[in-house]
Structure 1
């Protein structure tokens, strides 16, 4: 009996790391997660060492349940500040690691199979291409709306990486000169307005400027989450709805700029804020069409993600390595 080919998808976040083994059809056969951060405070070198030790244990324990019936062909990783060309994680702001970690090489040498990495938004774009709403598309953009704003540009049939592997950071284009402070060190970045963190800041500005009753007034800024704001909007809260309107206006403005440069067939919104549905999508569409050049009006769809369930990040990372294997840029060992 032939074995099922699978790849290992790994999504490394600032808090948790998710792993899963995925077949070619996008079925996640088994998945789990583990804390990214060490249980004790240590220096960068030891932090990485402890992470890898836990990661290996988690991979091997999880794979054991399907090892007899599957063949592992490769490893794909979605990571912060991942350099696809070099296979390195470089200057990760949310990880207490060394400045340059050759993570793809480390995993490849450990398991003797191809390993590649990129940032999580680019992995999400490949996930949409292989398993989601972008099937068959040659030009599209995925925008991930999480703690920050990530983006993955798929142009003329391939992910856009640019000269150094870091192209396509839509979250750090400038919305307002001398605007909100961003974690990258700049002011006025798009993600300071359009993200879970950004909409929290917007809500507090609106609460200060308006007198309407809102359940959000009872929540401290540190405790406020994007999920709370989404739930409030879905229940008709005026402050939350206005916050999404403002967020959609700014996102629509910047997406109009993107269309003029890349002319995608579709723009796919991904992440927790999309649970607000039309409260986010309608203003985004409206303002993109308002600000867009006439030549492009009515040509670009704004869609929700086609990846559903708890393992969307793992599916994206898995799609990355399947894509590499299929292009024969890497050969299975």
Structure 2
């Protein structure tokens, strides 16, 4: 019988600003972690060299550890090709053969997918989706990402880019998304960025008193709006009601597509708790077909936010 107790994976999560990395055992425990600034490296070769400089000394120091692979999560990461394709928030333009370059540098096989898919894999391996074959992971941060499992398999599509639910249109002709040029996409409303824009729109559309007016418009963010809602501010509460209604409607649409056992919400915006979750749940149930009502669990991720990116990327290896 093979002993896997010494088997470990490297997880690397590449964001537009920061890249987090770690060495993870088969139980999902991070035994070493660190980060570098993604945007400090103008070329992909310089970036990989910097990663190697941080990780290789740790690998060499772990004499009894067997690194079985490297998992990479990145914007526009393609599982099939191992490439990052035209990521708008990274300095390296065009098609970047990241998995191949990392494999060659470390001498360890690397696998790549997009960051939201990596989060979904991590949730299935280590989090709230353990034992589930059908679920949708929605990440609510600066943007809206998603990863879909159906029949026990990650939905990738013919080209590796399936599951971009954040860019589905929820309000035809609605708010412009500056990075995609789309009008009315879910990400324009249900992200932390979207909450901030909604608050600004609501404030400019009425003379109603609000503690949000104490903050200069340019300094407003979703955390300030949340704090105001907790304090009972009427406009801030309406912002979350509006956001929840839109997200719930979108989730109802997603349910009709894959009939998941659960929808798992992850990311900074989930810190709003019931202020967001109640209108989301009400809206989702209201917009569902009767055959789906009261059957779909709507739950928060069980992964620690600071660890989730590394765990999700490392889970690709297993």
TM bracket (short chain): over 0.9
C-alpha distance 58-158 of structure 1, shift in aligned 2 (>3 A): same
TM-score normalised per structure 2: 0.94
Residue deviations 1:19-61, cap 9 Å, x none?
Answer: 011111110111111100127xxxxxx4323222222212224
Aligned match of 1:86: 81
Q: How many residues align?
A: 315
2:153 is equivalent to residue 171 of structure 1? no
| Post-superposition CA distance 1:183-216 (Å, at most 9, x none) | 1121111100010111111111111123344332
Task: After TM superposition, give the deviation of residue 256 of structure 1 in Å.
Answer: 0.8
1:205 alignment partner in structure 2: 201
- Select which of 202, 215, 240 maps to 1:219: 215
- Deviation, 1:221, is 4.3
Q: Is the 8 A contact 2:120 2:148 kept in 1?
A: yes
Shift of 1:176: 1.6
Q: For 1:226 and 1:277, locate their aligned partners in 2 and report how far apart those are by CA, in whole Å.
A: 13
Asked if the contact 1:200/1:221 (under 8 Å) is kept, the reply is no
- Distance (whole Å) between structure 1 residues aligned to residue 81 and residue 134 of structure 2: 25
Per mean C-alpha deviation after superposition, the further-off stretch among 173-182 and 138-147 is 173-182
In structure 2, the partner of 1:136 is 131
Do the aligned residues in 2 keep the contact of 1:252 with 1:286 (CA within 8 Å)? yes
1:154 aligns with 2:152: no
Provide structure 1 residue ranges, at least 5 long, that are not aligned to the other structure. 40-45, 323-333
C-alpha deviation, 1:78, in angstroms: 0.8
Counterpart CA distance in 1 for 2:216 and 2:139 is: 25
Does the aligned pair in 2 maintain the 1:233–1:276 contact within 8 Å? no
TM-score normalized by the length of structure 1: 0.90
The equivalent position to 1:21 in structure 2, one of 4, 20, 23, is 23
Confirm or deny: 8 A CA contact 2:5 2:26 kept in the other structure: no
What residue ranges of structure 2 are gaps of 5+ in the alignment? none
